[in-house]
Structure 1
Amino acid sequence: MFRKNSLFKDTNIMSLVKKITRKIFRLVENREKRFLHNTSIEVLKYVITNKSLPLWVKLYFIIISGLVVFVAVNLAVGIYNKWENTPVIIGISSHMTTINSIPFPAITICNMNQAKKSKVEHLVPGSIEYAMLQKTCYRETNYTSFKNLQQKNETFTNFIVNISEKCENLIVSCMFHQQKIPCTDIFREIFVDEGLCCIFNLLHPYYLYKFRSPYVRDYTSLERFSDIAVDWDPMSGYPKRLPSRYYPRPGVGAGSSMGLQIILNGHVDDYYCSSTNGLGFKVLLYNPIDQPRLKESGLPVMLGRQTTFRIIARSFEASPNIRHIQRSKRQCIFSDEQKLLFYRYYTRRNCESECDALFFLRLCDCIPYYLPLVYPNASICDVDRFQCLNNAELEVFDVESSQCKELCLPSCHDLIFYPDSFTTPFSKANFRTRSDYLKNLSSEYIRKNLAVVHFFHTENYFRSNVRSSYTGSTEYMAQTGGLMSLMIGFSVIFIAEIIYVILFILSMIIFIMF
Structure 2
Amino acid sequence: MDKLKNSSEKIKMGKKEPKKKFSIWKIIKTYFENSSLHGIKYLVEDELHWSEKIFWMVACGLSWWLCTSLIMGIISDFITRKVAITMDTDYLKWEVNFPALHFCFSFSSRARDYATEITGINPRKTSILSRLSHWAKMGYDGSLPKPITSNEFVQLGKYIKPNCDDIFGVCIWNDQVIDCCKLFFPLSTNLGRCLSFNSLHSKLPEDPHLPKFTMDHHKKSARFIIYPNKTDYWHASHPYFNLMLTNQLELPTEKGGRDIILTVQWGNPTPTIWDITQVPTYNEPGVLSLSKEDRRCRFPAETDNLFLLKTYNYHACMLETQIKKFNESCGCVGHLFPYSDKFKTCNSTELKCGFENRDAIVQVENDNCLPDCEEIIVIQDRNTLDEDNIPAWAVTKLEFNMLPGPFKRYERYTVFSLLDVVVSVGSALGLFVGASVLSIVEIPYWLFIRRDED
Q: Note whether the superposition's TM-score is higher than 0.5.
A: yes
Distance 1:252 1:361, change over 3 A: same
Alpha carbons 2:221, 2:403 under 8 Å: kept = no
Distance 1:178 1:418, change over 3 A: farther
**How far apart are the structure 1 equivalents of 2:140 and 2:406?**
53
**How far apart are the structure 1 equivalents of 2:178 and 2:26?**
94
| 1:443 aligned partner | none
Amino acid at match of 1:194: L
Alpha carbons 1:256, 1:455 under 8 Å: kept = no
Choose from 467, 473, 486 the match for 2:431. Answer: 486
Choose from 102, 113, 122 the match for 1:108. Answer: 102
SS in 1 for 2:261: strand
**How far apart are the structure 1 equivalents of 2:276 and 2:141?**
47
Give the alignment of 1:2-81 within 5 angstroms.
37-46=33-42, 49=45, 65=60, 67-81=62-76
SS in 1 for 2:78: helix
Does 2:443 correspond to 1:496?
yes
Alpha carbons 1:157, 1:369 under 8 Å: kept = yes
Query: For 1:358-389, what per-residue CA distance to the aligned partner results, in whole angstroms no more than 9, with x for missing partners?
Result: 3333433433445443327x443443332122
Amino acid at match of 1:250: F
Amino acid at match of 2:380: S
| 2:214 aligned partner | 251
| 2:190 aligned partner | 193
Query: For 1:137-173, what per-residue CA distance to the aligned partner results, in whole angstroms no more than 9, with x for missing partners?
Result: 4455995853655257994466678789998787677
Amino acid at match of 1:251: T
| 1:459 aligned partner | 405
| 1:13 aligned partner | none
Which has more helix, going by share of residues? 1
* TM-score, normalised relative to structure 2: 0.62
Alpha carbons 2:150, 2:345 under 8 Å: kept = no
Distance 1:62 1:370, change over 3 A: same
**How far apart are the structure 1 equivalents of 2:210 and 2:444?**
70
Query: For 1:449-496, what per-residue CA distance to the aligned partner results, in whole angstroms no more than 9, with x for missing partners?
Result: 978542425238998968899644x87455324312221224544993
**How far apart are the structure 2 equivalents of 1:173 and 1:314?**
30
Q: CA deviation at 1:285?
A: 2.0
Choose from 257, 260, 282 the match for 1:297. Answer: 257
Does 2:387 correspond to 1:432?
yes
| 2:246 aligned partner | 285
SS in 2 for 1:384: coil
Distance 1:477 1:425, change over 3 A: closer
Choose from 422, 440, 449 the match for 2:381. Answer: 422
Distance 1:407 1:29, change over 3 A: closer
SS in 2 for 1:199: strand
| 1:367 aligned partner | 333
Query: For 1:64-103, what per-residue CA distance to the aligned partner results, in whole angstroms no more than 9, with x for missing partners?
Result: 555544432232122111221128888989994545xx5x
Query: For 1:282-315, what per-residue CA distance to the aligned partner results, in whole angstroms no more than 9, with x for missing partners?
Result: 413232x764326522213366584524142637
Query: For 1:28-54, what per-residue CA distance to the aligned partner results, in whole angstroms no more than 9, with x for missing partners?
Result: 887776665444344344577486779
Query: For 1:197-227, what per-residue CA distance to the aligned partner results, in whole angstroms no more than 9, with x for missing partners?
Result: 443344696x79xxxxxxxxxxxxxxxxxxx
**How far apart are the structure 2 equivalents of 1:73 and 1:481?**
12
Q: CA deviation at 1:318?
A: 7.6
Alpha carbons 1:284, 1:294 under 8 Å: kept = no
**How far apart are the structure 2 equivalents of 1:266 and 1:392?**
40
* TM-score, normalised relative to structure 1: 0.56
Aligned residues: 406
**How far apart are the structure 2 equivalents of 1:340 and 1:28?**
58
Alpha carbons 1:172, 1:437 under 8 Å: kept = no
Give the alignment of 1:199-348 within 5 angstroms.
199-202=196-199, 230=206, 243-245=208-210, 250-251=213-214, 258-262=222-226, 272=237, 281-287=242-248, 291-293=251-253, 296-298=256-258, 299-301=260-262, 306-312=272-278, 314=280, 328-329=293-294, 332=298, 335=301, 338=304, 341-345=307-311
**How far apart are the structure 2 equivalents of 1:40 and 1:481?**
15
Q: CA RMSD in A?
A: 5.8
| 2:172 aligned partner | 175
In structure 2, list runs of 5 or more residues that go unmatched: 1-20, 265-269
| 2:359 aligned partner | 394
Choose from 105, 128, 133 the match for 2:130. Answer: 133
In structure 1, list runs of 5 or more residues that go unmatched: 1-23, 209-228, 231-241, 440-448, 505-514
Amino acid at match of 1:420: I
Query: For 1:373-421, what per-residue CA distance to the aligned partner results, in whole angstroms no more than 9, with x for missing partners?
Result: 3327x443443332122234322267xx645xx4456778x5x543211
Q: Percent identity?
A: 15
**How far apart are the structure 1 equivalents of 2:195 and 2:397?**
15
**How far apart are the structure 1 equivalents of 2:227 and 2:129?**
30
SS in 2 for 1:395: helix
SS in 1 for 2:352: helix
SS in 2 for 1:301: coil
| 1:356 aligned partner | 322
